[in-house]
Structure 1
Amino acid sequence: MSSRYADDLRLAHVLADAVDQLTTSRFKAQDLEISTKPDLTEVTDADRAAEQLVRSQLARARSRDQVIGEEFGSTGASPRQWVIDPIDGTSNFVRGVPVWGTLIGLIEDGRPVVGLVSAPALGRRWWGGEGAGAWTGSRLSSATRLQVSTVSTIEEASLSYSSLHGWADHELLPEMLNLMQRFWRTRAYGDF
């Protein structure tokens, strides 16, 4: 892959590999510690440990970069910002549902330049970078380029969504339900 951000993308994979090892070891753990954040969402010891792991590796590898994480906020100030959600889909994670993942992104000068989603319980990973395209696979060396679907109408499309609660909270549920009826199929799985 030839891209100005190739090293950052490789680093994102190294970070994801480390987090995957940690999170899969805690997935379905009997001693998983679960608490509730002020916004009433769940957080686990695995969320916090995973973010700390990423932060410590970034401190060594990219010490000048800012880190923005879901669990511990922002540290540093830089035009390069790593954005981390250690376990997107914590509600699924705590219930043993394998639809959760780690989100790692890099923003430079206000523009996203690297992104990676790793879903180890599903054995899937997706990533992309400015000038590098978008890919899927278990590793950089065994990647398949992503491509746009050939589906051209909403009636042929499948819609995946997280929850209807957000639409209701924003008073958009009737519009969403009307739109959903046009799709070939809809499924609700959770986050990421």
Structure 2
Amino acid sequence: MTSDPAERLAVAREAATAGGERALQDFRGDVAVETKSGPTDYVTEADRAAQRTVVETIRDSFPDDPIVGEEDETPNSVPESGPAWVIDPIDGTANYVRGMHCWTTAVAAVEDGEPVAAVIAAPALGDLYAAGEDGATRNGDRISVASRSDPQEAAVCPTLWWSRDRREEFGAVADAVVRSFGDCRRIGSAQYELALVADGALDATIANVFASPWDTIAGAHVVRQAGGRVTDVEGERWRHDARGIVASSGEIHDEALEATQAGDGARQ
């Protein structure tokens, strides 16, 4: 380990807080909006400004570490060895541009490709989730995953999004969720959905598609530190390069995994 994980957690907290506060300045304001890969794949000047704030904060303490991010010219793959940072200035930009409060700023510190510290700030909601190596917290208070074991009492969230030519897979996953579980949620910020699993509000969040590391690494770490389980679509331990993500309390993981695999069954 190249540095104290507690130090990295402190910097992650500072960076996520600063980036979230910068994004909050433009929330529900007159901010320039562009699209990337599709009509609802948004990027805003707030994303870029928040990312600059996050990067500058990290660089103050770790000037030489690689930083993997969604915007600007940052690398988009996680190094397999050594320290690095994985950041998302606004996860849930579609919510952000619509004036919805469920968006986050996520910062994770990784070592040899594995997260060692993570913070997810939800500034419009006044919440900050954090995890180092000894548990997870919300606003400084310890959190843990749900203890519900009856799928009919569980709320499960299909997370991420499926490309236009794969929407039948989303339909199959959503159908499996509403048939197998008590309730279905879709919130629009993968990091926030993962934080809600860690906090016991959701029982699982699932997808059978590849995810960008900035959408998932921080939240996966928080879930695990809160006592939950995170696997890929095959049920193997999840990594940032895995296909699919199934993050749950552990109590209903097998059922969540089966619902996720329904997407594969619908693939043409």
What is the number of equivalent residue pairs in this alignment?
182
Structure 1 stretch displaced more, 165-174 or 97-106: 165-174
Q: What is the deviation of 1:153?
A: 2.1
Structure 1 runs of 4+ off > 6 angstroms? none
Kept after mapping to 1: 8 A contact 2:158/2:173: no
Counterpart mapping for 1:14-93 below 5 A: 14-29=14-29, 31-38=30-37, 41-72=41-72, 73-74=74-75, 79-93=82-96
Q: Helix, strand or coil for the counterpart of 1:188? A: coil
User: For the structure 1 residues 59 and 28, does the alpha-carbon distance in structure 2 shift closer, same or farther, using more than 3 Å as the test?
Assistant: same
* 1:105-130 CA distance string (max 9 Å, x none): 11101111111111011111111112
Query: Which structure is higher in strand share?
Result: 1
Structure 1: segments with no counterpart, 5+ residues: 138-142
**In the alignment, what sits opposite 2:122?**
119
Q: What is the deviation of 1:39?
A: 5.4
**In the alignment, what sits opposite 2:186?**
188
1:169 equivalent among 160, 166, 169 = 166
TM-score after normalising by structure 1: 0.85
Query: Which structure is higher in helix share?
Result: 2
* 1:58-89 CA distance string (max 9 Å, x none): 222101211011002329x7711100100000
Q: What is the deviation of 1:163?
A: 6.7
TM-score after normalising by structure 2: 0.62
* Aligned residues: CA RMSD: 2.4
Structure 1 stretch displaced more, 11-20 or 96-105: 11-20
Are 1:148 and 2:149 an aligned pair? no
Kept after mapping to 1: 8 A contact 2:156/2:177: no
Give me the identity figure in percent: 34
User: For the structure 1 residues 39 and 62, does the alpha-carbon distance in structure 2 shift closer, same or farther, using more than 3 Å as the test?
Assistant: farther
Are 1:105 and 2:77 an aligned pair? no
